Structure 1
Amino acid sequence: MLFHVRMDVRIPHDLPSDAAAEIIAREKAYAQELQRSGKWRHIWRIAGQYANYSVFDVKDNAELHEVLSGLPLFKFMDIEVTPLLRHPSAIREDDS
């Protein structure tokens, strides 16, 4: 099942920089692991913002919640999720 996800990150200004750097490093490693597994299919940064648009390919809502809540930056994010369904006019067979 595909999901379009917008993530806006808001790290508190009073979080010590070394703690923020450690969380960001763990976030990058986890995100890259999910990309290698095929669960995090696409990620695009939104220019000028600490935010991204992503496409996840997971079994269901519960798995998406598990993946997103496992993000080290999760507690600092506003997340908007939109389920996606293949459009009947789509010509690419590998985008389902």
Structure 2
Amino acid sequence: MLFQVRMDVHIPLDMPVETANEIKAREKAYSQELQRQGKWRHIWRITGQYSNISIFDVESNEELHNILQGLPLYPYMNMEVTALNRHPSSIREDDR
């Protein structure tokens, strides 16, 4: 199942820099491992914002929910999840 997830990050301004950097390092390692596993298919930064658009390829809604809740930055994010389906007018069989 493919999902588009928009993630907007809002780290508190009063969070110590060392704490924020440690959370960001864990977030990077977690997201890169999910990319290696093929579950986090694409990630794009939204220009001028501390936000991204990502594509996940997972077995179920529950799997996606668990992955997102496992993000170290999860407590500081607003997310919008959209389920995706192949469009009948697409000329491609895959998501290239």
Give the TM bin, normalised by the shorter chain. over 0.9
> What CA deviation, in whole Å up to 9, does each residue of 1:45-90 have, x standing for no partner?
0000000000000011100000000000000000000000011111
Q: Are 1:31 and 2:35 counterparts?
A: no
| Cα distance between partner residues in 1 of 2:36 and 2:85 | 23
How many equivalent pairs are there?
Answer: 96
Which amino acid letter does the alignment assign opposite residue 55 of structure 2? V
Structure 2 gap segments, 5+ residues each: none
TM-score normalised over the length of structure 1: 0.96
* 1:12 Cα deviation after fit: 0.3
Say which structure is richer in helix. Answer: 1
| Cα distance between partner residues in 1 of 2:78 and 2:17 | 21
Q: CA RMSD in A?
A: 1.2
Identity of aligned residues (%): 69
Runs of 4+ in 1 over 3 A off after TM superposition: none
- 1:39-54 counterparts in 2 under 5 A? 39-54=39-54
Structure 1 gap segments, 5+ residues each: none
Give secondary structure in 1 for the equivalent of 2:94. helix
Residue 59 of structure 1: aligned partner: 59
TM-score normalised over the length of structure 2: 0.96
| Cα distance between partner residues in 2 of 1:30 and 1:47 | 23
Give secondary structure in 2 for the equivalent of 1:14. coil
